[in-house]
Structure 1
């Protein structure tokens, strides 16, 4: 009975991650970006702890690994993809009406073809997650930007764009060119073999976590002034610090 309980706890956290992703996708579709961000944030929190408890209780399994990736595909793939699609829509891209006939039934719908670029994010996320599942070198550090980190960057973009401190460059941030570049770069960063440090605990020595501590300390002022809108900037600091670390080691 105790073993069954231990085995179920990681899957419960994964299930919560999956549900957060589903609700976040729905809220993103409704342009409720702040609520969608919070649910992706909660999903990322649950994603951290499903693996943690699986290791602590020694109940890691192939099922848990695959279930975790399926949940991440929703929370870290589909939800940010919908957010980016809607951001593209806000740039004023043309929307067209289409009619299709299936078994003598007529279906009319509309969408903006140029905004479909946003769905490169769930595609790139699915490739990233598949690579992670078969790569034994990513147990403690990452090769490429983790899908959850990329998701937080994307779903927090609307908060950054709407923040009063960035009102003077809002038109630049919310332009098709900027969003197109961000979509391509974020999709590439997830799948490049770029070494990135993680926040997983390996030793009890603080000196082994100097970069992680620096990220936390440097993020505090940004979070104080910008709140959740600081998340894209924090992810950017994380990437820059990794580039510097890789260049000197």
Structure 2
């Protein structure tokens, strides 16, 4: 079992304690450190090499956005040679700070009032390389992406470079499916899903899953409020 090494960064000791209790009770998660502000989070990320940093977006001094930008840089490789991933904690739905944290390299965000089981699922998903966007506020987040022109996203016609299967995978990513869920939905292997999604990122010059979700909505591949297509069924013998 691959263990997930988590660093907690929040300026409220009681919040860190509660998060630590929930995560430490899981057999595959180790809380390796706690930070009270962004500067300490960066320092501990360098020293402890966590798999994932659970980061409060608003902290005194160095805030979560600035800390995320430093931690996700190549200078902070995790224990197994990959860059530590950041999951943002916020009490706000789709604030400008959350948007900036995603631009800074965060892999998703979770509301602080989320249930414990959702916290655990989010940590596991982000540690596995997926994104986690709180479903209740995804539409707000996408509107925020659409309203800010700083980072160019593909035009609708540019999706023509994708194969039909790559478009299917991108659409399911936008609907919030994880790689294992996409594999089950399309009746293909999880490694194949990762290959297809990697090609989507490469062909569209996207950085991560969060940008892929924004692209799928802004290019019209997926419309807000729609449901995913029905799962494929293997042919009967």
Scaled by the length of structure 1, the TM-score of the pair is: 0.31
Task: Return the structure number with greater relative CO, CA threshold 8 A, min gap 6.
Answer: 1
- Whose strand fraction is larger, Structure 1's or Structure 2's? 2
Scaled by the length of structure 2, the TM-score of the pair is: 0.32
- Which of 1 and 2 has greater Rg? 1
- Whose helix fraction is larger, Structure 1's or Structure 2's? 1
